[in-house]
Amino acid sequence: MDEGWSVNITVRRGLWTGRFEFECPHRWVVVRGPSGGGKTSLIRALAGVGSHQGRIDIGDKRWTEATPPAQRRVGWCPQDSVLFPHLSVVENLRLAGDLEISTRACQALGVADLLGRMPRSLSGGQRQRVAIARALGAAQGVLLLDEPLSALNADLRDSVLQLLSDETVANRKLHVLLVTHEAAPMNTPHAEISVEDGRLT
Amino acid sequence: MLIAVLSTACSADESIRVFVPASARDAVGELAREYQEDTGVQVFVTAESTSLVVRQIQSGAPADVVITADLAWMDELANTVTLQDRALAATNGLAVISKQRLGGWTDAAGVKRLALAGPQVPAGRYARQALEFASVSPNEIVEASNVRDVVRWVRAGEADAGVVYTSDAAQAPELNQIPIPSAAHDPIVYPVARLTDRPHAKAFYEWIIGEHGQTVFGRHGFGQAGKSVPSQAVSLQDAVFRGLWVAILALILSFPFALGFGWWLAQTSFRGKSLVTTLLLTPLVLPPVVTGYALLGLLGRQTPIGRFLSHFGIELSFSSAGAVVAAAVVGFPLFVLACRNAFEAIDPDFYDVGRTLGLSGRQLFQKIALPLAAPGIMGGAVLAFARGLGEFGATVVFVGNAEGATRTIPLAVYTLLESVDGDHDAILLAWVSVGISLACVGLWERTNAWQRSRMEWKRG
């Protein structure tokens, strides 16, 4: 499967066990499900920062539990939009990798004038958009977005989704896994999976 | 850099060290200043209770000349150390001091509260001999650790009368004084010994037992009654700058250890971790005097480590370098705790994001952990600095209390409190101390605010 996703992993965290097994012929996977169901655990396992057993095939990439995060180089936008508080916006972007891509994303998301600011002086929505831009700059093939739309109004959600679909399909051929509660209109071909209690339902 | 500073601090070729009992401090201090003016050779005078002086020299304190307050302690010293030469420096007598006029010296037993030095101190032993000789028993005895405290208490009205050396009584002319006949107690003699053959040690020894030395001792109330001579054996400026400098060097010395152990404790978990933590924090809860004693046993000049260090010209015990080590050791627990807490407070998500960005372990530490923990580390540094500045117990045991060498601010305050005319300077120095401490606490509070402003936005 050259284009899509084939994931078969087990994640253990203390007594909690999650089994995630899915195939998807498209570049986009949309994950839904109640909070506490294991969505974030799935993302952390894919990013390589939460340990897992099993195999992950995304496009032509093949990762096992032994593949360290530095080799996966996913663009990860965590739920709390974790910007480094001691670095300015532009330093955050530079640390992540391709500054050209991330500044372009900032322009598209209307946060390009914030580059010199420190994260603590940004609103929640501004931080979220910067974090998305940072993830785009960092992604070398795979983009993992954990609730990236939660602090944004409807207009901004649309521009985020528009940017993502432009970047993925037209420009960079990214694979995207998007966790969201929104029933956002998706005009990109995608599969939806639902995660509950550590299982796909 | 540090090593260079430390070794210059402890190699003072053109200087001699003299250890004397507290009661002989003013007289020998005056002789030392005169000698210094005449010859340009620095004379470091360490004044402590005789028992501590002897213990310190037995532990390797580099003394050229020593005076004790009785023969027994000098004999004790001669058991372990070779005395090159030995003579009598001075004699002393006892007197009863009081604010109220007393009829005779035995009336001291009739007052409500009588202050005596403890029985282990020669002055206390002689006083008890005299009371026993006169077959009188006092109503209530308040026991002081040394004769200077007896003078202080009587002066402050804490005690109604006290028995002290005539040399100390001479420093308090405003009090009523009745001499105690010398037949009532063993002869009070101050033997002096020379421990090295260095030319200036010989010269200063001769200077003490010579005619001029005897005149000075006489003027300070030894052997004969005399009037008080104001003395200023403590340099306030020296104590303040020495104290600050010692605390700064101590901070530099402990920084890499505090940072390394703090990071290690925050990052790893293993069996016995709480045991290791406990050991690292021991100096925080150990009485500082015990810490100083442990340092002496570990790093003193007679120990394997001490002998090893001396090959490199580093001598820690009874040197300013040792004061730095003592301050570093007692400040270290505060520093390492602050570092550990600062590292532990960092949300692990930051490291996880950093790892997905391809940062190595070293880069995670340099680019993320260190800057995020910086406010907490700074706070720990400020606390450790303040602790080092206030360090007393470990310092006085490990490196002694030598003017111009190891006397930091708290040691100077203590010395001034012990001397009869030191109140004014002690208060001055106490205020300096309060000022520096408040500045440190204020700075520490700033680092806390800095830390909070860093973290409060964290959740989007």
What is the distance between the alpha carbons of residues B433 and B330, in angstroms, rounded to a whole number? Answer: 18
* ipTM of model: 0.90
Neighbouring-strand partners of residue A17: A12
| Verdict on whether the full-model pTM lies above 0.80 | no
**Burial (0-12, 13-18, 19+ Cβ within 10 Å), B430:** middle
Instruction: Output the tens digit of pLDDT for each of chain A's 201 residues.
Output: 457 898 889 988 888 888 998 888 888 898 988 888 888 889 999 998 888 888 999 988 889 888 888 888 899 998 887 889 899 999 999 988 888 889 988 998 889 899 999 988 888 889 989 999 999 999 888 999 988 888 788 888 888 888 888 887 666 778 889 888 776 556 777 888 888 887 887
Q: In the predicted model, what is the mean pLDDT of residues B429-443?
A: 93
A128/B460 Cβ within 8 A: yes
**Structure confidence by residue, pLDDT tens digits, A90-125:** 999 998 888 888 998 899 888 989 999 998 888 888
Sheet (strand B114-117) strand order:
B141-144, B114-117, B161-165, B94-98, B176-180
B372–chain A Cβ distance below 8 A for any pair: yes
* Dist. CA B147–CA B269, nearest whole Å: 54
Burial of B51 (0-12, 13-18, 19+ CB in 10 A): middle
B371 CB within 8 Å of a chain A CB: yes
Residue B361, pLDDT > 60, answer yes
Task: Tell me the C-alpha distance between A145 and A176, whole Å.
Answer: 8
CB of B148 within 8 A of CB of B168? yes
**Which residue, among A41, A86, A89, A114, would best test binding to B if mutated, counting the most B CBs under 10 Å from its CB?**
A86
How big is the CA angle at A130 (ends A175 and A170), to the nearest 5 degrees? 35
Nearest to A145 by CA among A106, A112, A174: A174
Quick check: B356 and A72 CB within 8 A?
Answer: yes
Q: Kindly report the backbone phi and psi dihedral angles of residue B409, in degrees, each rounded to the nearest multiple of 5, phi listed first.
A: -60, -55
Residues 107 through 126 of chain A touching chain B, CB cutoff 8 Å: 119-120, 124
Q: Do A85 and B458 touch (CB under 8 A)?
A: yes
Closest chain A CA to residue B457: A120
- Ranked by mean pLDDT, the top range of B247-261, B300-314, B345-359 is B247-261
Q: Does A70 touch chain B (CB under 8 A)?
A: yes
Spell out which residues of chain B touch residue A149, defining contact as CB-CB under 8 Å: none
Q: Look at the block and give the residue holding tokens 């005056």.
A: B30
User: Tokens at residue B276, please?
Assistant: 């290791």
B176 bridge partner residues:
B98
Angle between helix axes A89-96 and A99-108 (nearest 10 degrees) is 130
CB-CB contact of B163 with B127 (8 Å): yes
At B367, give phi and psi (nearest 5°): -95, -25
B99/B155 Cα distance (integer angstroms): 7
Instruction: Report chain B's terminal Cα–Cα distance, integer Å.
Output: 46
Of the residues B347, B352, B355, B357, the best mutation for testing chain A's interface (the one with the most A CB atoms within 10 Å of its CB) is B357
**Given this model, what pLDDT does residue B213 score?**
86
- Asked whether the beta carbons of residue B458 and residue A84 sit closer than 8 angstroms, the reply is no
Q: In this complex, do B460 and A73 lie within 8 Å of one another by their Cβ atoms?
A: no
Residues of chain B found within 8 Å of residue A151, distances taken between Cβ atoms: 460
Exposed e or buried b for every residue in A61-90, given b needs 16+ CB within 10 A?
bebeeeeebeebbbbbbbbbbbbbbbbbbb
Say if residues A95 and A87 touch (Cβ distance below 8 Å): yes
**Residue B453's pLDDT is what?**
78
Q: Does A51 touch chain B (CB under 8 A)?
A: no
Query: Chain B residue with minimal CA distance to A126?
Result: B460
Nearest alpha carbon to residue B239 among B61, B382, B428: B428
